[in-house]
Amino acid sequence: MLGNHDAYLLPKAEIMALTGQQRYHAIENEEAMLIFLDTSKEMNRSDWGGEMDAERLEWLKAQLDKSGNKPVFIFAHHPVYDTTTHSTMEKMSIDPQIDMLDVLNRKEGHGFYFCGHNHMNSIVQKDG
């Protein structure tokens, strides 16, 4: 999972080739689904906020639908706008024009979202 500092100097394709990582992927078993998302911008030192393109959003929707009632644990660098401490500040979340809460609310059952961009301990519960 890339953070904004990881993607400053090299194109993401090059980072993926060097590290063997994927920009986003899921691991599923009979008990739960783990989802890993790249929310960082590529080589943009002036804007360290997060983003999600249409391809990743559609993929995420499909994963959430596929998970059914199993718990889902999502790991991403940036928080969803207006969820955690400082996530309403400029460049401190996934772009607020991207309605991530609408996508995440597709989840049936329990869903957990972990992020670290703001370097703050902040636990929030939204709509179960």
In this structure, is the dihedral angle defined by the CA atoms of residues 99, 103, 108 and 111, taken in order, positive or negative?
A: negative
| Spatial CA neighbour of 41 closest among 3, 75, 83, 76 | 3
Instruction: Output DSSP code: residue 1.
Output: -
Output the pLDDT for position 91: 94
Neighbours of 42 (CB within 10 A): 15
Q: What would the two tokens of residue 72 be? A: 């889902």
Residues 6+ apart with CB under 8 A from 114: 73, 74, 75, 76
**111 pairs with which residues across the strands?**
72
Output the pLDDT for position 128: 61
Output the pLDDT for position 23: 84
Work out the average pLDDT over 57-78: 96
pTM: 0.88
